[in-house]
Amino acid sequence: MTALLIKNPAQIVSPRPGSLRGPELKDLHVSSGNCIYITDGVIQTIAPFKELESRAQVDNAAVIDASGKAVVPGFVDCHTHLIFGGDRTDDFALRTAGASYEEIATNGGGIARTVTATRAASKAELKDLAHMRLNRALRQGTTTMEVKTGYGLNPETEMKMLEVIKELNDEHPVDLIPTFLGAHSVPSSMEKTDYIAQIKAMLPEAARIAKFCDVFCEQGYFNSAESFVILEAARKAGMLPRLHANQFHSVGCIEAAVDIEAVSVDHLEVLKLDEISRLADTDIACVMLPGVSLFLDIAFAPAREIINDGCIPVLASDFNPGSNMSLSLQLVMSLACMRMGVSVPEALACITQNAAYALRLDNVGCIETGWQADLVILDCADYREMAYFYGENHAYAVIKKGALV
Ligand code: NIG
Ligand code: FE
């Protein structure tokens, strides 16, 4: 048995379990005067030191002195494009000189540029790149991450990406949840109808590894009817549906998501009020990606309306080479607080418990007895400082399945 005692933290801060809406989001459990006792990767007891001391001695537990530091759940990044070859520094330079994301995409840059580089990269190269990125994410407190394909756009490279995710999941402490995003874009060499047929043919193979299937539902990519057809076939193949929706245009993707009973809709920068009400009547997670709004200088998702109307709000990074080259969920939290009207407790719930819900995980995202011990020990006594003192990494130590990583 392995045992770990996190001794005398200034605060232990956790959202309640479940898919949190409205006032539940800010109803965090904040305790001081307690320690966290972990055995075999699971939280056993949260109690004062004097109640745990003798047991920790008997178990020969490792001890981390957390005095003056707050402890929060490990962060769950439920939307990333972690695996890709090459980079888009040139696109970034064009954009900072005034070109838009859509202009760059129509002129040979954008997703197509990354597809070419990802097809050319070997599996080992992709894995090395992703491994380094994962180390960065872990150092900043991310202990679980969803990872999408979508830079292959052919059966061979899409499967290569899924295999990289699977192998990395076995080798790296961060838990990875694979998503098949064959419908990220249409490869330049193919007609869209032919490519959709090819995506459908890929589904059974993809479903051997992927838990979710995603579609970029957007003008110029896949419309709502095409998205529905792909996701319906994906569900039959054994994957749960989710969508990139309402990033640049509102083109019926929310309706498609409701019809298909999607697990989540992600982006939502141009979400309309009636679409928010529609989502509030469902169990669909509303994943907002403020890093994209910062990076592309586009609108922020209407977080306040999403929360006030009773939707299930979530925050994620959308780490990818074209629209957000940042892995920091601490920065996401700060942006949500500073630019979207989200309070600090709400933002914490959105990157932990509600993000776990968006990935259909029920053992991470909270600090409770019986839950997996994925924790971040912050370098500050008040957890709110990590949003306030922004652009810094406040992770003093990261615990994954009860081990210091
Ligand atoms: O989530 N919106 C579509 N896909 C990514 C961007 C991909 C890229 O530009 O490489 C996103 O923002
Ligand atoms: Fe994305």
Rounded Cα gap, residues 230 and 236, in angstroms: 10
Q: Are 173 and 405 in contact (CB under 8 A)?
A: yes
CATH architecture of 75-358: Alpha-Beta Barrel (3.20)
Beta bridge partners of residue 148, listed in sequence order: 179
Tell the residue nearest (CA) to atom 8 of ligand 1. 322
Angstrom distance (rounded) from CA 269 to CA 253: 13
Q: Helices (H) and strands (E) in the chain — how many of each?
A: 16, 18
Per residue of the chain (405 residues), what is the pLDDT tens digit? 999 999 999 999 999 999 999 999 999 999 999 999 999 999 999 999 999 999 999 999 999 999 999 999 999 999 999 999 999 999 999 999 999 888 998 888 899 999 999 999 999 999 999 999 999 999 999 999 999 999 999 999 999 999 999 999 999 999 999 999 999 999 999 999 999 999 999 999 999 999 999 999 999 999 999 999 999 999 999 999 999 999 999 999 999 999 999 999 999 999 999 999 999 999 999 999 999 999 999 999 999 999 999 999 999 999 999 999 999 999 999 999 999 999 999 999 999 999 999 999 999 999 999 999 999 999 999 999 999 999 999 999 999 999 999
Which residue's CA lies nearest to atom 1 of ligand 1? 318
User: For the purposes of burial, counting CB atoms within 10 Å of the CB of 19, is it exposed (0-12), middle (13-18) or buried (19 or more)?
Assistant: middle
Cα separation, 362 vs 19, in Å, equals 10
- Looking from the CA of residue 105, the nearest atom of ligand 1 is 9
Tell me the sheet residues that pair with 320. Answer: 324
Query: To the nearest 10°, the Cα dihedral for 376, 382, 384, 388?
Result: -110
DSSP-based three-state secondary structure for 126: helix
Q: Ligand 1: residues whose CB is within 6 Å?
A: 81, 110-111, 114, 216, 244, 247, 292, 318, 320-323
Summarize the chain as % helix, strand, coil (round to 5).
40, 25, 40
| Residue ranges, CATH 2.30.40.10, the chain | 3-74+367-404
Instruction: Give the amino acid at 75.
Output: F
Question: In this structure, which ligand is nearest to the CA of 111?
Answer: 1
Bridge partners of residue 286, in order along the sequence: 265, 313
Ligand 1 midpoint to CA 87 (Å)? 13
Best probe residue, ligand 1, of 83, 114, 147, 216 (max atoms within 8 Å of C-beta): 216
Decide: pTM greater than 0.95.
Answer: yes
Residues of the chain with CATH 3.20.20.140: 75-358
Q: How far is the CA of 377 from the centre of ligand 2 (A)?
A: 28
In 3D, which of 235, 233, 267, 271 has the Cα closest to residue 255? 271
Ligand 2 centroid distance, CA of 57 (Å)? 47
Ligand nearest to the CA of 148: 2
Q: Can you identify the CATH homologous superfamily of domain 3-74+367-404?
A: Urease, subunit C, domain 1 (2.30.40.10)
In angstroms, what is the span from residue 79 Cα to ligand 2's centroid?
Answer: 6
* Residue bearing the CA closest to ligand 1, atom 3: 216
- For the beta sheet containing 75-77, the strands, ordered from the edge strand earlier in sequence to the opposite edge, are 75-77, 142-148, 175-183, 212-216, 240-245, 264-267, 285-288, 312-315
Distance CA 222, CA 53 (A): 58
Ligand 1 centroid–CA 138 distance in Å is 22
